[in-house]
A = this chain, B = another copy of it.
Amino acid sequence: MADKDSPVFGQSVREKEFNLEKDWNFLNTGSYGVTPKCVQEAQQRHQFKMNSHPEKWFRREVEPLYKEATKEAADFVGCDSQDLVFVQNATTGINTVLKSYPYEKEDCILVTNATYGAIKKTCNHVGSNITDGKAIYIEFSIPIESEDQIVEKFKRAIAENPSIKIAVIDHITSPTAMILPVKKIAALCRENGILSMIDGAHAPGQLDLNIEELNVDFYTGNFHKWVFTPRGCAILYINRNHHDWVKPLVTSHNYQRGPYWEFEYQGTRDDTPYTVVPHALQFYKRMGGVSRVREYNSDLLDKGVEMLCSSFDLRRFPIPKSMEAPYMRLLILPKVPGYGTTEEDANRLFAYFAEKYNIVLLVVSVFDHLIIRLSAQIFNTMDDYNQIVDILKDLLKKDDEK
């Protein structure tokens, strides 16, 4: 329960804390995140400092701010700050690790068909550069009965492919918003001498993270999705066993000084998305922290999903409750008149909601269905979900009229 000093979520927090464009219904924070006014202002202050005295900023001011941000980020995700560096986004984090690894002939990378498109392409690209190597795919399909079913699929793939050297494992899958049992999968990898690279693109801020407890080799996660930083801010955890060989994609002045320094400076760039991490975490704390935000967002999504399913013929994505992402939920659409189930159809339907109704609602094509991925963030209310009921009803009934 919120106490009397807690901010009132919904429309009130939207107006007070965010610059979101009026007359728009934002139901897809999962894609690009949201940056509160106070964090935008902090970034502008840092950029102003950088511009008003570049030498002071780059030679003196940025480093302590960067170090403090590293420390606070490490505390937030549950690891030692010596093992954490900043990267622009989770895609960069995964590229960094996969492209640092010293592959030998026939080495393979393990990944799943539920992995984010950009990461599949990264695995294919890196795999194609290994002599006789490749990316090996685990195929998921719905319904998913249990976490153990997922672990079992990894077990089988590992047994069948002794040449796997590194596995990319989603903490929360992107289009399908499923929490995977990464701790169990990472343990399985470790038993089989396989490195675990966790793609937590959607995890920080959404899950209570304790990376050290997960006992993984690498973990990357965006802070700009659910931790309220500006875009271009993500963390990469590098287990201490690998500090000697994981290098940033850009070699620079601090080459061979260890992860913190090597990632900290890679030529002149704007590091303010990193330096304002403490401001973003402070905002998160002011909102009541992960537990209160999660309570609000999860409850809202539970109610929204229930309302939509009871209103007409929508199906929940068939996965165990324990695997549902707290801030993102999926609903399978029945056949939509005028739409097939391809990615193009999904994009067309996304555009329909945006252009006709000012609603940002992610529609994806998964497992031969059109699926809507609903997000909830503290500025959303039931009204936002109610708004789509009539539109969906209208879209679906068009067939009956013919």
Contact = CB atoms under 8 A, between A and B. Distances in A.
Interface of A: 19-21, 24, 26, 28, 31-35, 40, 43-44, 47-48, 50-58, 88-92, 95, 99, 117-118, 121-122, 124-126, 222, 224, 230-232, 247, 249-253, 255-256, 266-270, 273, 354, 360
A122 B256 CA distance: 11
Contacts of A354: 55
A266 B121 CA distance: 12
Contact of A32 (B24, B55, B124, B251): B55
Give the 7 A-B CB pairs with smallest separation, nearest first: A91-B267, A89-B267, A32-B54, A249-B249, A232-B269, A121-B255, A122-B251
A50 B268 contact: no
A384 B269 CA distance: 27
A338 B58 CA distance: 27
A95 B54 contact: no
A124 B125 CA distance: 25
B270 A95 contact: no
Contacts of A231: 50, 54, 268-270
Contact of A125 (B35, B118, B247): B247
Contact of A222 (B51, B121, B268): B268
Contact of A267 (B58, B90, B255): B90
Contacts of A267: 88-92, 118
A268 B21 contact: no
Given A19-B51, A35-B51, A55-B31, A125 B270 contact: no
A273 B33 CA distance: 20
B33 A95 contact: no
Contacts of A31: 54-55, 58
18 contacts: A20-B52, A20-B53, A32-B54, A32-B268, A33-B268, A34-B51, A88-B250, A88-B269, A89-B266, A91-B250, A91-B266, A92-B266, A95-B249, A121-B256, A122-B252, A125-B247, A270-B270, A270-B273
